Structures are given as structure tokens and as C-alpha cells.
A and B are shown apart, each in its own frame.
Chain A
């Protein structure tokens, strides 16, 4: 196998692929990235058997072929090479020689035959949507994914394809984020619910480019995201996602519109005086304003005020500041709507787009 590739393209491709390599893999072949030189590109594939990345990089192919090389080491090396073209040549014994400028590097690889085959998705259920829409939906929800490994069903995002939309849901039991991608056409026979693991979500957000479509293919326990030049394959989280609709309050007592950035920065400043993880910020809603307060013994107090058009009852709720700031940080709208019920009920954040964020209050001693 022989090909020439720009340092940029190679480094980027390797960077994408390395994300799928598990440093603690037991099989040596899994620490390697599969390189296939074909037509006018090099296809890089890496996997840890649960998650696979397959990405393409443009290259000039001298001789088609394939091999596998140590992923991390190769990636680190290529990143450090000069920004010129790199010549790669691999002999029959899977030894690769890289030439870049005056440098020559020989790396021992493993034959391609040992690399696990990619799962097939023929005849699988397929969904197509705009990559930017999916990326937007994931951005609005991913921060609410549970980190608690004992609740494995919540360690991912629910993808629910039904009717004319895709609903994305993430929750950890203390807050829930839901976003929709609308204007899809999903025939009844294709309606599906599946849960995509956190790792796949993170990589997916990186790989989705803004101006293309993404094709999602579903097999019995795996999902494939075809983002054009990069394809991600991930094992699904097994199990049924809990009935999230139950969490969303079905009544609203008060509603107020706030400037997102202003609220975010105020909460951030106020929470700076919190020390322990159990610190809270208190939001007091009263006529014309929202007061944001925190009080940490031995450290200090903070108090900020935002002017808003609020005419409802006085409500005072305490929230976890990180959970409150997360949606504000990832939304891009200028304004958000805060919906309240009372002092001990969850708060809900909405925007002028299909999105809901339910945040449970903290019970702070009077």
C-alpha cells in the first residue's frame, strides 16, 4: 500500500479515529487504526467493539491496500510532523514507513485481516435529517445525561422517532432536557425508540457538519450515524427509557421572560461564592424583578437583581446553580421563558422553539 496525504488531512482523520480507541483494550488489534487506501482517499477505522469511527481523508493513492497501525502513537506522531505532505508506504509484513520532509519513521503494524469487521446495516430502518438540526437538538440536551453508572438506561440520550418528529430526551433524575427536530416524515412502521450512549453523543456532536444531511441506520442493538465523510457506529443502550412525559409539569402558574445571557452571568457570579457541591442559589420572583441570592456560611453572601416584567405571585425557589446554568449556556436564543408553579415545584425553562427543561428545586432549610 502506498499513498501521499497532507499532514492536515491525516492528522484530522487520525484525531477522529482515535476517539474510538479504548486505551485499556485487551485485544492488541483494537489499539490499532485500520487504514484502507482506495480510489483517492484513505479510510481510517477504529473501534472498541462498542463504538466505531470510520472517517475518510483525501489522499493520492499510489498503490491500493490496507493495514493497521497503532492508533494513538500514529496520531501523536502525525500531529507533530511538519505541515507538508506525508508519504506512507506499507510492506507485506505490515511495516509502515512514513516520510515527511527529512524525517523517516518506521512503525510496525498488524495485518488488516485481524481487524474486526464492521457490523452490517442492510435492510435496516433508516432516518434522514439535517445534520445541523440534529446537532442543535443534541446540544440542547446532552448536558442533562446521567453520569450515574448504576442507572445505565439513563447514560445516553433517548431518540424517539414518531409521527413527524424526532424527540431527544436526557435526564439524570434531577433535571430533564427535551428537544425536538420537526418536519420529518416517519411512517408508522418505522417508528422507533432507542437510546444512544453518551460517548456516541459526544463524538456525534463533533462529527456532524453543519451543511449536510445525516443518515441514521438502526439494527437490533446498534446504530449507525452516517455524517458524510465520517460514520459512527455505536452499540445502543439496552433497555426501555423511562416514561419522561410524567416529569413535565402540566400546569403553569407563573411565567416570565428573561434575557438568557444576563441570567446566566448573574447566576454564575452569585454561585462563585458557593463552596460545596450542595450549594444552591435562590431565585426570588416578585413584581418586576428576579433576585438571585446565595449564602454560604463562613464564605459570604451574594445578591443580584434582574429587571423583568413579572406580575405574578411572589415565588422563591432554590436551584442547583450548575443545573440552572447548563441549559442557559448551551441555548443560543436571546430570551428564555421561565415557568413556575410554587416554591417547592420544579422550574421549567422554555424557548421559542420545541424545547423543555425541567429542573427540580433544592430543599434548603428555612
Chain B
């Protein structure tokens, strides 16, 4: 992914925080007591605030209840949306939430002039091991240091959530499936298999599911891993004789999210291990989500029994976004970066960078930082210059009529020569028409040029072919699928 030019004084990246820090506007609040304490408040400030809150609580609850349930508590943090109380153990949360929530809010109302979300943290609850006792370093392999429960949030990109995912017709199915899985894991689609080309959002969706579950289901064990890591850890576990620990890590997960499963191709032992992991989780009715660059049946050198298991649930494809979606992605990203670019620039980017979202976002970043550095208005030429390598990449993907002819001929099992011949048999003429249709769609060539490329055919012939194929596509699902498949494989 292209990185912004190095000497950047204020990298736009820094603003790419999706954690919306609430904008505090104290004028809206009735009370003037200190609600501006933020997370980095000193212990003294928190203590003072807690004293105030305690007085109010005593009024609402009475001394007896206060003494029993609140006198041993303290404030962990406060901001304009939430107040976090530090509690000795979990019973406090259960009892306060069930019995005293209203009174607590009433007390907070007198202090802050508004309600706050009440959250709890257990003292010394960092018993969740942040680090394994002895992270084993190996020179050759990456050491798997993550402990069983915390594989989730630590490996996650905080930007990859459902909120930041721009849905378009290219991704609405995969997105809907992922959301359904995140809301009710193992009760909807299991396994869920998401595939799509590079940079189209597979990792984003997988991690979004993970984020959602970690946030919504406490104690849920979310395991996210790239299959390369899985393989490396497996090899390492064999070498260090710690297979039991390895298996525990994955087979005790409540949900396993595994990215780029195509990397298992050709690795027999890893596939075998993954087969058993899969079964163990599936039989335990745990959710499994996989991603790959190909649909299961097209991953080469993948054991049949794995292919069939991957196909047991739902397979969803992420396709390259259409122009409207590309524009939406650009707008959302630009807003997130707090960057304003003239709409003609966004249009230009959306039109020229088509193949994948990662490249699109990279292009945006580059253009944005160039714009802020140079201070000059952006012209088409300057953008072209800034993005020349990206645009070159895009151009390479431009399809030629020759490529189309080859692909279609291969699919319909006719000779390449038949594409340009005058033979009228339906078994040859129809594929020729399909090839013309696809050429019209995927290449920038004129009707005349296309006609020429098909053995000196008239441009009218090409028009007729396109019409015929189009109307047949409207009636025949199978033809639609074939065309879609051919176009996709040409554009890969």
C-alpha cells in the first residue's frame, strides 16, 4: 500500500481515529460542576469528584445502602458519556445494576446535569494475561505470544469495525452475512466463507465481526488469526512439543476468524491440523468465519474434505466496488481524515482507481497529503503525477479483446480461431457473441475496433451480438453466472 510522503508535519493518519471522542459543550449543561474531567485526570481529581458523587448517592440511597454497596468503590474514569466505577468483585455490578441504577443516575444528574452510562471495572481484573510468561522467540518463525483469551482485541485493527465499512452492491451480501454472524454467532451461517480479491474488505469484515463480539459478549473467546500464523504456530508447537497448548488456544475459542485460508494450500500437515480444529469447533457449535481470495472450490491444493466443509455454510463474495460505492468510500474516508478535497478530485479518483479499496484509500491519502503540503489547488495533471504508479497498476489491468477471446474460447471449449471465423453454427456463433459482449463491457475499444478484432465483422454485428446476449442474460440465470464469472476472471 502506498505510504504518504515522509516529511509530513501533520500526518493525516493521526486523525483516522474512529473512536469518536465526544465533543464536550459545557454550555449545554445546566450545572457548572466539573464534568470536564477526562480519562487522564489525576487520581486526586477523581477522588474529589467521587466525594461529590458519594454525597449525592448518600442522599438518594440512604447511609445503609451506601455503606454496603458504594463505600468501598472508587472512580476509575469519567468522561462526558460514561462513568466507570472500580469495584472489588463482580457481585457489585450485578447488584447495583439490578437495584440501584435509577438512584445512581439521579445522583449523577445532580452532579453532571445529565445521565451517564454506568460501567464497572473490577480491581486487579488485569488477571487477563497481557503477556505469556515466556514468549518463546524463534529466529525463523514468528513467535506466537498471544494468550488464549486475548487473541482478539490485541491482534485487531481498531479501524476495522462495522461502523467504518462502506456497504455497496458489491459488498452488501457479505456485509449482511457478517453482521448476522456477529449478532448471533453459530446460529445463522456456520461456517461463513468470505472471498474476494485483494483489498476488497475481507479482513475488515472479519475483524468487524471480532470487534462486535468482543464488545457485545463479555467473556467470549474470539480468536482471529491469519492462516500463515496458524501454520507457523502449528509448526512451532510441534517443534517445541507444545501441541496441547496450541490446540487449546484454538479449539477453546467461541469463535474462530481465520484470514487468507488459501495460504493452507499445499501444506498437508497444517491442513490436517486445521481439519481437526474445524471439526472440534463445529461440533461444539462454535462459529467459524474464513476468508480467502478464491471461493473454496477454486483454491488449489486444498483437501477435498476441507473444501466441502468450507462450503457447508454460506459463501459470500466481495466484489470490486462500483463507481458510486467508490465515491462513498472516498467521502467517508476523507471525512474520517478530516480532509476536504474538491469533489472533482474525488470523482477523478473514483473513476481512475477501480480495482481495490485499499488502493483507493491509499490514493486518497497520497493526494490529501500532497494537497496539504503543496498548498496549491489540485489539477488533473498534478493528481496524475502524484498517483502515477497507482494509475500504471490500474492500466495493467485493462483488458484486451484478445484476452477476452481467449478466455471465452477456453470456457466454451472452442478454438481461438473460431472467434474470428465466419462459421455460423450456434455452438461457435454464440460464444463469439458473448466474447463481443464482454469486450464491449470491459475494453474501451470502439464498436469498429471490436468488430475488426473478430475477423473483420461489421460494427452492426457487434451491436446485434451485445443486444442478443443481454436479452438472453435477462432470461437465463446460468448465462448471467457465466458472464459474471468470465468478467471476474478477466479482471483479476
Contacts from A to B (Cβ < 8 Å): 26-27, 49-50, 116, 151-154, 171-174, 238-240, 242-244, 246-247, 341-342, 344-345, 360
- Chain B residues 169-222 with CB under 8 Å of chain A are 190, 219
Q: Are B99 and A173 in contact, with the CB atoms below 8 A?
A: yes
Closest to A116 in B: B283
Residues of A within 8 A of B90 (CB): 153, 240, 242-243
What's the least CB distance linking B122 to chain A, in Å? 10
Closest to B98 in A: A173
- Chain B residues 96-153 with CB under 8 Å of chain A are 97-99
Q: Are A239 and B95 in contact, with the CB atoms below 8 A?
A: no
In the complex, B2 has a CB within 8 A of chain A: no
Closest to B284 in A: A49
A154 CA to B90 CA, complexed, in Å: 11
Residues of A within 8 A of B91 (CB): 242-244, 246-247
Q: Are A242 and B99 in contact, with the CB atoms below 8 A?
A: no
What's the least CB distance linking B78 to chain A, in Å? 24
Interface centre among B62, B91, B93, B190 (most CB of A within 10 A): B91
In the complex, B22 has a CB within 8 A of chain A: no
A238 CA to B65 CA, complexed, in Å: 30
Q: Are A152 and B64 in contact, with the CB atoms below 8 A?
A: no
Q: Are A345 and B219 in contact, with the CB atoms below 8 A?
A: no
Q: Are B219 and A173 in contact, with the CB atoms below 8 A?
A: no
Residues of B within 8 A of A240 (CB): 90
Using A26-B190, A152-B219, A243-B90 as known contacts, say yes or no to A173 and B95 having CB atoms under 8 A apart.
yes
Offer 18 A-B interface pairs, CB within 8 angstroms, sorted by A.
Answer: A26-B285, A27-B283, A49-B285, A50-B285, A172-B98, A173-B94, A173-B95, A173-B99, A174-B98, A238-B219, A239-B219, A243-B88, A247-B91, A344-B64, A344-B65, A345-B64, A345-B65, A360-B98
3 closest pairs, A vs B, by CB?
A173-B98, A242-B91, A242-B90
- Chain B residues 218-236 with CB under 8 Å of chain A are 219
A247 CA to B99 CA, complexed, in Å: 12
A125 CA to B91 CA, complexed, in Å: 27
Q: Are B92 and A246 in contact, with the CB atoms below 8 A?
A: yes
Q: Are B94 and A154 in contact, with the CB atoms below 8 A?
A: yes
Using A49-B284, A244-B91 as known contacts, say yes or no to A344 and B219 having CB atoms under 8 A apart.
no
A247 CA to B90 CA, complexed, in Å: 12
A49 CA to B280 CA, complexed, in Å: 11
Closest to A22 in B: B285
Residues of B within 8 A of A153 (CB): 90, 219
Closest to B102 in A: A363
Contacts from B to A (Cβ < 8 Å): 62, 64-65, 88-95, 97-99, 190, 219, 283-285
Residues of A within 8 A of B219 (CB): 152-153, 238-239
Residues of A within 8 A of B95 (CB): 173, 246-247
Picked from A239, A243, A341, the residue with its CB within 8 Å of the CB of B64 is A341
Residues of B within 8 A of A173 (CB): 94-95, 97-99
- Looking at chain A's contact residues, is the secondary structure mostly helix, strand, loop, or mixed? loop
Residues of A within 8 A of B283 (CB): 27, 49, 116
What's the least CB distance linking B196 to chain A, in Å? 26
A359 CA to B65 CA, complexed, in Å: 14
Closest to A238 in B: B219
Residues of A within 8 A of B97 (CB): 173
Using A344-B64, A344-B65, A345-B64 as known contacts, say yes or no to A243 and B89 having CB atoms under 8 A apart.
yes
Known contacts A26-B285, A50-B285; 9 additional CB pairs below 8 A are A116-B283, A153-B219, A154-B94, A171-B94, A173-B99, A243-B90, A246-B95, A341-B64, A345-B65
Closest to A250 in B: B68
Q: Are A174 and B190 in contact, with the CB atoms below 8 A?
A: no
What's the least CB distance linking B254 to chain A, in Å? 9
Using A151-B94, A243-B90, A244-B91 as known contacts, say yes or no to A360 and B99 having CB atoms under 8 A apart.
yes
Residues of A within 8 A of B98 (CB): 172-174, 360
A360 CA to B190 CA, complexed, in Å: 42
A361 CA to B284 CA, complexed, in Å: 41
Residues of B within 8 A of A50 (CB): 285
What's the least CB distance linking A297 to chain B, in Å? 21
A246 CA to B65 CA, complexed, in Å: 12
What's the least CB distance linking B347 to chain A, in Å? 46
A152 CA to B219 CA, complexed, in Å: 10
What's the least CB distance linking B245 to chain A, in Å? 14
Residues of B within 8 A of A154 (CB): 94
What's the least CB distance linking A219 to chain B, in Å? 13
Interface centre among A171, A173, A174 (most CB of B within 10 A): A173
Residues of A within 8 A of B284 (CB): 49
A350 CA to B151 CA, complexed, in Å: 46
What's the least CB distance linking A153 to chain B, in Å? 8
Closest to A151 in B: B94
A50 CA to B89 CA, complexed, in Å: 28
Residues of A within 8 A of B285 (CB): 26, 49-50
Interface centre among B62, B94, B97, B284 (most CB of A within 10 A): B94
Residues of B within 8 A of A345 (CB): 64-65
A27 CA to B285 CA, complexed, in Å: 10
Residues of B within 8 A of A341 (CB): 64
Closest to B92 in A: A246
Q: Are A242 and B62 in contact, with the CB atoms below 8 A?
A: no
Closest to A173 in B: B98
Residues of A within 8 A of B93 (CB): 242
Residues of B within 8 A of A27 (CB): 283
What's the least CB distance linking A193 to chain B, in Å? 13
A290 CA to B283 CA, complexed, in Å: 56
Residues of B within 8 A of A244 (CB): 91
Closest to A240 in B: B90
A244 CA to B92 CA, complexed, in Å: 10
Residues of A within 8 A of B62 (CB): 344
A345 CA to B62 CA, complexed, in Å: 10
A202 CA to B88 CA, complexed, in Å: 32
Closest to A245 in B: B91
Closest to B248 in A: A220
What's the least CB distance linking B413 to chain A, in Å? 39
A242 CA to B62 CA, complexed, in Å: 24
Closest to B103 in A: A363
A276 CA to B62 CA, complexed, in Å: 28
A172 CA to B89 CA, complexed, in Å: 16
Residues of B within 8 A of A151 (CB): 94
Residues of B within 8 A of A172 (CB): 98
What's the least CB distance linking B223 to chain A, in Å? 15
A242 CA to B97 CA, complexed, in Å: 13
Using A341-B64, A344-B65 as known contacts, say yes or no to A242 and B190 having CB atoms under 8 A apart.
no
A345 CA to B283 CA, complexed, in Å: 48
Closest to A24 in B: B187
What's the least CB distance linking B93 to chain A, in Å? 8
Closest to A152 in B: B219
A247 CA to B65 CA, complexed, in Å: 11
Residues of B within 8 A of A242 (CB): 89-91, 93-94
Residues of A within 8 A of B190 (CB): 26
A172 CA to B97 CA, complexed, in Å: 11
A177 CA to B98 CA, complexed, in Å: 16
A116 CA to B280 CA, complexed, in Å: 11
Closest to A239 in B: B219
What's the least CB distance linking B213 to chain A, in Å? 13
A344 CA to B97 CA, complexed, in Å: 17
Residues of A within 8 A of B92 (CB): 246
Closest to B91 in A: A242
What's the least CB distance linking A156 to chain B, in Å? 14
